[in-house]
Structure 1
Amino acid sequence: MTREPPAEQRTKGKDGVNRNGTDGASETVIVGAGLVGAVTALYLAPRFGPVTLLEKREDPRRTPGGQSRSLVVMLSARGWRVLSDLGVADAVRRICVPLHGRCGHLPDGTTRVTPYSRDGQPIWAVERRRLHHILLDAAEAAPGVRIRFGQRVRSVDLDEPAVLVENRHGSHRLTCRWVFGCDGAHSAARAALEARGTRAEVRRLDLAYQEIDVPAGRLDPTITHYWPSGKAMFAAHPLPSGKLSGSLFMRLDGPAPSYEAARGDQDLAETFAAHFPELTGIVPDIAEQLATKAVSTLTAVRCDRWVWRDTFALLGDSCHAMAPFMGHGMNCGFEDARVLVDCLEASADRAAGLAAYEKSRTEDADSISRLSYRHYYTMANPAREETAEEVLRGRLTALFPERFVPLYERCAFTEEGYASILRDDQRLDRLVADLLVRYGTGLVSAPDDRLLACTPSPTPATATLEDSGCT
């Protein structure tokens, strides 16, 4: 950690702000030293010179106690690509748990296991805290990167550019050549763009959650577990210790089940037992945990502009915070950093590079945000029986494994654009609907050769059902 310069190296202007003469305009400043901020610094420093990370909190590696963010995050192919680029993939893999699917513990007492991929590939669960420490250690050891904790950015001057920073010594202004905002959903850096007319939607989702510790020994440690209850859901992710990190999701406000309706500790425990009776035996101290664990809210962010000319860009939750149910918020933020650097390296003009980054990422971020929120309701409200549409989708996926890849599999195990994945999934929805309208629900149980004949070729792109040979 770099210390603040001594008082004799600082001068104070007429406005009472300290001017730090040791920080030259050749530097890049990153606001926020969380997961995405550390990754962005590791990408930028070897390519574009010195980087200073400014973090308002104290160093988490030296701060005892818990954390406000979810205990576990998921690593998919996009995240692993970035960690491999940065040389920390092996260190991270040693603290991960491979998960091969999800098991739904349904209200009728049955279970439904859904593999994450058709060929057995896992996604990887990792404790956020331990991953963060690895990335901070790597950033601190990287030439050209310095991390300053306890530094609250009060404002950003987009034109100079510069940041106004407040710490225990007072306020000081750092000039630089780039500012990158990686400071989360309630971003101070984003405020500078909003002051220039950028429209940012920051909304609290109608869901809240509590982190619940689930003891080892009662659940399969190779898969994610979830208990859907329509208006509420409990999910549990295995940890390397054998324990699981659980999360109770309910509406924050409104009629039961919600945190508002269950105002008292006993009421909350009764609500939990009514909706998740199996879990009261798996988590013996559930009433105590519900009474003592903090209730956290979920925030979504959508921003119509991410960059300013050749001086500034947003990454991660500062411009696209999303619901956690697809497990892609961190992976998408990591991918932001990789694409940002690719765009800057591909252009001799910094403004063009930042513009290319924004153009490349905004539609993808919007798409995975939509998918993430939708995925909660899919998981929390499982159908008792598969619909004709679902059965037909499954059969098409089996008959055309290269042409119709499950949406979750494409998100988790490829680096294809999220927007392209969503568009293809919507096309499949339309195809299934058209097939059922044209041939009726009997097609669901038709022999493979008839279903093959009824399904139009994907080439040319304009192929329709009229091009099929089904009779």
Structure 2
Amino acid sequence: MHAKDEARTEGSPEIVVVGAGLVGAVAAVYLAPRFGPVTILEKRADPRRGAGGQGRSLTVMLSARGWRVLSDLGLAEAVREICVPLHGRCAHLPDGSSHVTPYSRDGQPIWSVERERLHHILLDAAEATVGVRLRFGQRVHSVDLDEPAVLVEDRHGRQRLTCRRVLGCDGAHSAARAALAARGAQAEVRNLELAYQEIDVPGGWLDRRTMHYWPTGDALFAAFPMPSGEFSGSLFMRREGPAPSYATVEGQDLLKVFAAGFPEPTAAIPDLAEQLATRSVSSLMVVRCDRWVWRDTFALLGDSCHAMAPFMGHGMNCGFEDARTLIACLDSTEDWTAALAAYEKSRTEDADAISYLSYQHYYIMANPPQEETAHAKGVLRKRLVDLFPDRFVPLYEQCAFTEESYASVLRNDQRLDRLVESLLGRYGAELVTASDSRLRACTPPLTPNTVTLEDSGCS
């Protein structure tokens, strides 16, 4: 037994999880049956006791990676009862037309779920798991990586809680991450240039099988169906800079900007003026950290190490996958140092990839391709995917319906981009409208696996 284990006080948990959000609850349910008592420390009040949704987005998206974790924990059936299946995204374009893009080629849906109801299910599951203790109203001030221990404060004062391991699941403003930063880890924490307001949207006028979005180039309004029959809407604009931005328009001016850009939702939301005037404007924060673990005592998961823009709908799914990957690494060896190092190596490249894709996806949605060259690239990409369905899989489909690493998905997409550019450079834009047989003839030989796609034959 290590000296630090002998020093632990009787009743101390094996593991402390900092943060009782979605990822923290999932991590605790995974860990307790394998490694003994887990204490979850959360600075906020218990949201199941009327504390509310804590200012977070009303809806989150569940895709294959998230469902894998919920199935592992025996929660998939309960969660599916509070979800709405979404089969695609419907773009309502400025010219009055609309266009639906399926999420998958075989009709598979992703699932929209109310964050608050999902959170309650996960907290209930954690509370029902033998060995898990939930403690709310507990503000963690610091983490000692070596002992390890956490300095925590509640209404009775401060105390030092010793343990054997600490997991930081406390979000973008992570107090746990500060312990790694003190040991030299480099963390980038910044607000995006975008901000948003949540807007309640009545049901009855939009297809509930899709999410809906209205792009203007300068702003974006999106609406997701909820089990109640209503929609959860979000208005995205720049925080600062020239109009339209939240810094330059407010009050009635904001209503005018919204009405000019989004006439259809304006007509459908009777209390829009009041909502725009009273709903808080929230920033979008991103986090990147070059170190996630410390020896055998500490690891970060979820937004504490990779908070990302919400536009791919994968922040929660990625955080859940962190927990599953960590458990897989721990199940493969009794050496915690090796397991944590393997977890960090496995996840950091994937987190960087999905964070990049999530940020880029906003501009894809907010700015539908207008230029002829961009249109040609998009059409040719789609034709290649249709002609070689086993070899080219749309990026979103790979992210949402497979468990292929996000880094591999990004590399696949970049290879396809290079192939499209090479084909257009060699054969010109007329290839876009060429026959299927000619396009097949012009496309270099492909392997069955997109990961090994070679595009040099088109240069």
TM range (shorter): over 0.9
Partner of 2:278: 292
Are the counterparts in 2 of residues 455 and 465 from structure 1 also a CA contact under 8 Å?
A: no
1:338 aligns with 2:319: no
1:166 aligns with 2:165: no
The 1:463–1:294 alpha-carbon spacing in structure 2 relative to 1, beyond 3 Å, is: closer
Partner of 2:101: 114
| 1:96-148 Cα distance to aligned partner (Å, 9 max, x none) | 00000010110111001100000000000000000000000000001010100
Q: Secondary structure at the match of 1:255?
A: coil
1:61 aligns with 2:48: yes
| 1:35-79 Cα distance to aligned partner (Å, 9 max, x none) | 000000011111111100000001000025453000000000000
What displacement does 1:392 show? 0.8
Write the mapping of 1:231-242 to structure 2, written as runs, cut at 5 A: 231-242=218-229
The 1:466–1:328 alpha-carbon spacing in structure 2 relative to 1, beyond 3 Å, is: closer
1:308 aligns with 2:294: yes
Which letter maps to 1:72?
T
State the distance in 1 between where 2:49 and 2:104 align. Answer: 39
Are the counterparts in 1 of residues 188 and 288 from structure 2 also a CA contact under 8 Å?
A: yes
State the distance in 2 between where 1:463 and 1:207 align. Answer: 37
What displacement does 1:361 show? 0.2
Moved more, 194-203 or 446-455: 446-455
Are the counterparts in 2 of residues 23 and 174 from structure 1 also a CA contact under 8 Å?
A: no
The 1:216–1:379 alpha-carbon spacing in structure 2 relative to 1, beyond 3 Å, is: same
Moved more, 457-466 or 74-83: 457-466
Which letter maps to 1:395?
R
Which letter maps to 2:291?
R
1:320 aligns with 2:313: no
Partner of 2:198: 211
1:73 aligns with 2:73: no
State the distance in 2 between where 1:463 and 1:184 align. Answer: 40
Which letter maps to 1:39?
V
State the distance in 2 between where 1:280 and 1:451 align. Answer: 44
Q: Secondary structure at the match of 1:371?
A: helix
Q: Secondary structure at the match of 1:387?
A: helix
Which letter maps to 1:394?
K
1:103 aligns with 2:90: yes
1:258 aligns with 2:245: yes
Q: Unmatched 5+ residue regions in structure 2?
A: 1-6
State the distance in 1 between where 2:51 and 2:203 align. Answer: 24
Partner of 2:384: 396
State the distance in 1 between where 2:138 and 2:239 align. Answer: 32
What displacement does 1:443 show? 1.4
Partner of 1:267: 253
State the distance in 1 between where 2:321 and 2:223 align. Answer: 26
Q: Which of 367, 390, 394 is the equivalent residue of 1:406?
A: 394
Q: Secondary structure at the match of 1:188?
A: coil
1:245 aligns with 2:232: yes
Partner of 1:422: 410
Which letter maps to 2:31?
L
State the distance in 1 between where 2:457 and 2:262 align. Answer: 49
Are the counterparts in 2 of residues 153 and 163 from structure 1 also a CA contact under 8 Å?
A: yes
State the distance in 2 between where 1:338 and 1:255 align. Answer: 44
State the distance in 2 between where 1:465 and 1:344 align. Answer: 41
Write the mapping of 1:423-462 to structure 2, written as runs, cut at 5 A: 423-459=411-447, 461=452
The 1:464–1:200 alpha-carbon spacing in structure 2 relative to 1, beyond 3 Å, is: closer
Q: Unmatched 5+ residue regions in structure 1?
A: 1-18
| 1:386-408 Cα distance to aligned partner (Å, 9 max, x none) | 61111111110000001000000
Q: Secondary structure at the match of 1:183?
A: coil
Task: Give identity over the alignment, percent.
Answer: 73
TM-score by length of 1: 0.93
Are the counterparts in 1 of residues 415 and 455 from structure 2 also a CA contact under 8 Å?
A: no
Moved more, 271-280 or 49-58: 271-280
| 1:166-197 Cα distance to aligned partner (Å, 9 max, x none) | 00010111111110000000000000000011
Are the counterparts in 1 of residues 23 and 323 from structure 2 also a CA contact under 8 Å?
A: yes
TM-score by length of 2: 0.95
Partner of 1:5: none
State the distance in 1 between where 2:350 and 2:31 align. Answer: 22
Which letter maps to 2:406?
Y
* C-alpha RMSD of the superposition: 1.6
State the distance in 1 between where 2:215 and 2:126 align. Answer: 40
| 1:329-349 Cα distance to aligned partner (Å, 9 max, x none) | 000000000000100111221
Which letter maps to 2:86?
L
The 1:438–1:308 alpha-carbon spacing in structure 2 relative to 1, beyond 3 Å, is: same
Are the counterparts in 1 of residues 127 and 133 from structure 2 also a CA contact under 8 Å?
A: yes
| 1:315-364 Cα distance to aligned partner (Å, 9 max, x none) | 00000000000000000000000000100111221100000000000000
Which letter maps to 1:387?
H
State the distance in 1 between where 2:14 and 2:263 align. Answer: 56
Are the counterparts in 1 of residues 423 and 458 from structure 2 also a CA contact under 8 Å?
A: no
Partner of 1:184: 171
What displacement does 1:383 show? 2.0
